[in-house]
Structure 1
Amino acid sequence: MKVAQRGDSVMKQDQPGQPVTRNEDANHELSIRVNDLNLWYGDFHALKSIDMDLYQKNVTALIGPSGCGKSTFLRCLNRMNDLIPSVRVKGLIEMDGRDVYEPKMDEVALRRRVGMVFQKPNPFPKSIYDNIVYAPKMHDLVSRKADQDELVERALRDAGLWEEVKDKLHQPGTSLSGGQQQRLCIARAIAVQPDVILMDEPTSALDPISTATIEDLMDKLKQQYTIITVTHNMQQAARVADYTAFFHLGEVIEYNDTKTMFSTPHTKKAEDYITGRYG
């Protein structure tokens, strides 16, 4: 991170890509390293020299005004932006010492390791059961019916949905409520045993009760997975995230442990956004 100003003081981060303040209660083993990441949509420079270290078994929230690059950054991590013809990417995104953009990278295998949960619940037009087993079968993770049954129950339990659907596994996933559908999508994502779960505003289309359920679920899932989530809800970021990155006009203005970010941010821009002065 570059030099950051707050009032008349200047604070400099010694290690680019590291949070300004470390959360000593959080796990600090590296999951993904991002170095000098730039992205263009045609001639539009959407992400500008992003440096971030993302840590295992933590929730990292990406906040900032609409159009500032949060979702674009999220989709870089599993190369979903590759599906857009006008996109050009430069820089390093490293997992396990390998650049995810190297030519030999298997994109399908990458997306198994880095799962995605979208803003609007999008269950497949299949049964609840088949929503869960479809991808594991495609990746040859399970074949026997008994193994599939075990996988379905485990994924649905981990997503906090088993007790609600165990007697209707062969009904369509689309028959569930919005909050249940989103938990089904989370169960579908974790069924392939990923390392990282990306969540793009996963509760923005849900009611307050379903939102609270998903937030509780995120807190439980971080014991097993690295979670990176985009949110416009400042209260949600404060509740669920260990770390928070503030994006503005394609740049990371501040990356901090969440408690510090929401109590004593190091940059004036972050403070103004968090306190509602703009955005």
Structure 2
Amino acid sequence: MNIQAASRHTPQPAPEVGQPVTRNANAHHELSIRVRDLSLWYGETQALNKLNIDIYQKNVTALIGPSGCGKSTFLRCLNRMNDLIPGVSIRGLVEMDGRDVNAVKMDEVALRRRVGMVFQKPNPFPKSIYENVAYAPRMHDLVSRKSEQDELVEHALREAGLWNEVKDKLHQPGTSLSGGQQQRLCIARAIAVQPDVILMDEPTSALDPISTATIEDLMDKLKKQFTIITVTHNMQQAARVADYTAFFHLGEIIEYNDTQMMFSSPATKKAEDYITGRYG
């Protein structure tokens, strides 16, 4: 793979394996999520082993690595979706705004409003396009009057790059849209509740190349407002969209760095082998 480092990036010393990167000195981004010694078990099987990572605001962070290495499991730790799986146990710290998301007093519903999620396969509600976007904000009391609701729906669909395609059929089922449009509808649905973070679990793996390019362009636009964390098996996609990349292997973070730095001069042999396609 021929991926050139951008000249604006200042060379950094290789990060310690499995530890948070020292971010690009020119970036000046604020911390969004702080993870320390995070481990997770499904029953007796350990899936994550003492993960440490700092995720910065208003960036795209890509999680890469072979299947079964813990990327999606880690993603679900950030909004406590793993709580819905029987037999899961977690140790360690996941902190947002100085608060541990796993604390007993943490409101899980409020957390999942702040940390939205877009899944691998588009999953619109069995409702109209309008209701797909309006339902959650209404349930969270983010809108009261019909005019506010209309304005929010239009804003979210515009932000997701979908408004011009659906503005004349808002009351048709969300499932009537194409796959790429459905995924953008799901992104609009996530945006509508005004989150701080958007998690994306392989959001383009089920889409055609044109729809994939549309979603990638959208991610680049949305990072101006939201922190985005995405799982991808596509190395070219990670190189195109991500500001930072974390390489997972067997439940551990082997390397985490500025994307251009990692793809041009990975600090570990495992990361280099994976990025260059020797395995995975």
TM-score grouping bracket, smaller chain normalisation: over 0.9
- 3-state SS, counterpart of residue 79 of structure 2: coil
Q: How does 1:253-264 map to 2 (within 5 A)?
A: 253-264=254-265
Q: CA deviation at 1:24?
A: 4.6
Report the Cα distance in structure 1 between the residues aligned to 2:27 and 2:155, rounded to whole angstroms.
Answer: 26
Tell me, yes or no, if the aligned pair for 1:17 and 1:35 is still in contact at 8 Å: no
What TM-score do the two structures reach when normalised by structure 1? 0.94
Q: Determine the structure 2 residue equivalent to 1:52.
A: 53
Q: In the alignment, is the contact (CA less than 8 A) between 2:61 and 2:245 conserved in 1? A: yes
Q: What is the CA–CA distance in structure 1 between the aligned matches of 2:79 and 2:230, rounded to whole Å? A: 13
d(CA) in 2 for partners of 1:262 and 1:12? 13
Tell me the secondary structure at the aligned position of residue 34 of structure 2: strand
Structure 1 residues 269 and 163: alpha-carbon distance in aligned structure 2, compared to 1, 3 A threshold: same
Supply the distance in 2 between the matched residues of 1:171 and 1:219 (Cα, whole angstroms): 29
Cα gap change, 1:16 to 1:47, in 2 (>3 Å): closer
Rounded Cα–Cα distance in structure 2 between residues aligned with 1:154 and 1:208: 26
Question: Does the CA-based 8 Å contact 2:58-2:228 persist in structure 1?
Answer: yes
Counterpart of 2:99? Answer: 98
Aligned partners of 1:112 and 1:192 also within 8 Å: yes
| Equivalent pair of 1:17/1:34 in contact (CA under 8 Å) | no
Give how far 1:27 is off.
Answer: 4.8
Q: Counterpart in 1 of 2:144? A: 143
Contact 2:121 2:203 in 1 (8 A): yes
CA RMSD, 1 decimal? 1.4
CA 1:26–1:216: 2 relative to 1, 3 Å: farther
Specify the alignment match of 2:153 in structure 1.
152
Provide the residue aligned with 2:175 in structure 1. 174
Large movers: runs of 4+ above 6 Å: none
Q: Render the CA deviation track for 1:54-89: whole Å, top value 9, x for unaligned.
A: 000000000000000000000000000000011000
What does residue 18 of structure 1 align with? 20
- Tell me which residue corresponds to 2:35: 34
Shift of 1:25: 5.3
CA distance in 1 between counterparts of 2:273 and 2:119 reads 28
Quick one: which amino acid aligns to residue 88 of structure 1? S
Amino acid at match of 1:260: M
Task: Work out the CA distance in 2 between the residues paired with 1:50 and 1:225.
Answer: 23
Relative to 1, partners in 2 of residues 1:268 and 1:63: Cα closer, same or farther, differing over 3 Å?
same
**What is the match of residue 230 of structure 1?**
231
Alpha-carbon distance in structure 1 between the residues aligned to 2:64 and 2:19: 16
For structure 2, the residue ranges without an aligned partner over 5 or more in a row are 1-12
C-alpha contact (below 8 Å) 1:27/1:56 kept by paired residues: no
Asked if the contact 2:125–2:132 (Cα under 8 Å) also holds between the matched residues in 1, the reply is yes
Percent sequence identity is: 82
Match of residue 134 from structure 1: 135
Q: TM-score, normalised by structure 2?
A: 0.93
Provide the rounded CA distance (Å) in 2 between the counterparts of 1:49 and 1:149. Answer: 45
For 1:81 and 1:268, locate their aligned partners in 2 and report how far apart those are by CA, in whole Å.
31
Rounded Cα–Cα distance in structure 2 between residues aligned with 1:82 and 1:14: 31
Distance, in Å, in 1 between the alignment partners of 2:66 and 2:17 is 26
Q: Deviations over 1:233-274 (max 9, x none)?
A: 000000000000000000000001000111100000000000
